[in-house]
Amino acid sequence: MPLKVKVGLIGALDMLKFKNMSKVREAAIQAAPAREITADYAVNNNAKALHPDYQRLVLSEIVEHPAAGAKTFVFENADGGPLAYFRAGQYLSLKLKLDGSALSRPYSISSAPKDALAGRYELTVRANPGGFAADRLLEEARVGDAFYASAPQGNFYYEELRDPRSILALAGGSGITPFLSMARAIADGTEDFNLTILFGSRTEEQILFRDELDKLAENEKIRVIHVLSDEEKPGYEHGFITAELVKKYAPEEYSLFICGPDAMYRFLDGELKKLALPRRNVRREMLGVTKNIAAHPDFPVSARGASYSLAVRQGPNETTVPASAEEPILVALERAGLTVPSRCRSGECGWCRTKVISGDFFAPAEHENRRWADRSSGYIHPCVTFPLSDMVLEVPGEYIGP
């Protein structure tokens, strides 16, 4: 039986008004002058300040750590004023131009979040034998040099809705930097949680930020235990950071945060199984691309030492780029001088997302963080993907600066 609905006069007028709404709006648009919108909205200004597309930085100071083979680069806002705020533990992607290559490198911020409000970031970079960007930065960067950087990125920070009140941090070498930022934030009252750091170094002399860490540990919420792999000395743990050592210093309930070199991650993979922690309570800083991909058990033997050609479509332009099967596609694109988007370089953030038109590739399972829709539609993260044939790619552009 058809439903009978009575519509009063007011309801009929409302329906008529709704029906004509698009016509009224179109008439208003056509009647308005064609000039730039100059309205200033506070919410937009706040969003831009917190999440800028890029930041212009000037290197204002270089602090050397010779025994540790590292330097701390102090950056200020090139325009003056504050820089984008961040959570202690996040990173910046620094844009570099080296020998005609346009590349980016992610570095954890070692300064306290409060320093960003004063227009200051600190990034600590350690020598990387056989590397490219880090060693060049250490050798060639000078006070006064200008840089572009991303907004702060990453999820490697304490979150009270997710984490217990205590964090147990496992650090190796320059992997101390995000935890230094956390300790500084706790000390100045920005963050409020308990932080225990197991910090692995080779020798006492090579401990990065030793004096400051010991000073920060005077705070009742901060504890630092140094672990020396190559020396046995009173007051220090000796050897590697193991499950047994974690149990020795672990509070009753905690989240485990890990940041260090590739070898440390590999070693801890087996140790973490002994701890039987819930997955939600284990946080890793970006793993970085798999080293020596030819030795990976799933990498095709036939591709070892092979070279291929990449046809790269970027807007109206198409470029042919040579590529090694044993280097990530992103490296090949950067080596050719193409400006392409990238930030984490670990397959996590998705900023480098690229469309594969044709060709075969290999992506290690440990870096498989693509969305199901991207896997189904042929998108890859070229920072952790290796070519296995000639390929045709559609790569988004990235435009930096004015």
CATH 3.10.20.30 range(s) for the chain read 294-394
Task: Summarize pLDDT for 111-138 with one digit per residue, the tens.
Answer: 999 999 999 999 999 887 766 788 888 8
Assess whether pLDDT exceeds 70 at residue 1: no
**Could you report the per-residue pLDDT of 205-232, keeping only the tens digit for each?**
999 999 999 999 999 999 999 999 999 9
Q: Give dist(CA 156, CA 284) in Å, integer.
A: 7
Location of each CATH 3.40.50.80 domain in the chain: 166-284
Query: Coil, strand, or helix at residue 252?
Result: coil
The pLDDT of 273-291, averaged and rounded, is: 84
- At residue 194 the predicted structure's pLDDT band, cuts being 50, 70 and 90, is very high
Q: Where in the chain is the domain with CATH 2.40.30.10?
A: 50-149
Which of 279 and 7 is assigned the larger pLDDT? 279
Contact (Cβ atoms closer than 8 angstroms) between residue 168 and residue 174: no
| pLDDT single digits (tens) 138-186 | 899 999 999 999 999 999 999 999 999 999 999 998 899 999 999 999 9
Give the DSSP H/E element, type plus range, for residue 283.
strand 282-284
Give the pLDDT score at 6. Answer: 63
Domain 50-149 carries which CATH code? 2.40.30.10
The pLDDT value given to residue 130:
66
Average pLDDT of the chain is: 89
Determine what percent of the chain is predicted with pLDDT higher than 70. Answer: 95
CA-closest candidate to residue 366, choices 351, 346, 336: 346
What are the pLDDT digits (tens) for 288-341?
777 788 888 899 999 999 999 999 999 888 999 999 999 999 999 988 888 888
Residues ≥6 apart with Cβ < 8 Å to 83 = 55, 57, 77, 116, 117, 119, 120, 121
Over the range 79-90, which residues count as b (16 or more CB within 10 Å of their CB) and which as e? eeeebbebbbbb
166-284 adopts what CATH topology? Rossmann fold (3.40.50)
Per-residue confidence (pLDDT) for residue 402, from 0 to 100: 42
362 three-class SS: strand
Match domain 294-394 to its CATH number in 3.10.20.30, 3.40.980.10, 3.40.50.2300, 3.30.70.890.
3.10.20.30
Q: Are strands 361-362 and 354-358 parallel, antiparallel or unpaired?
A: unpaired
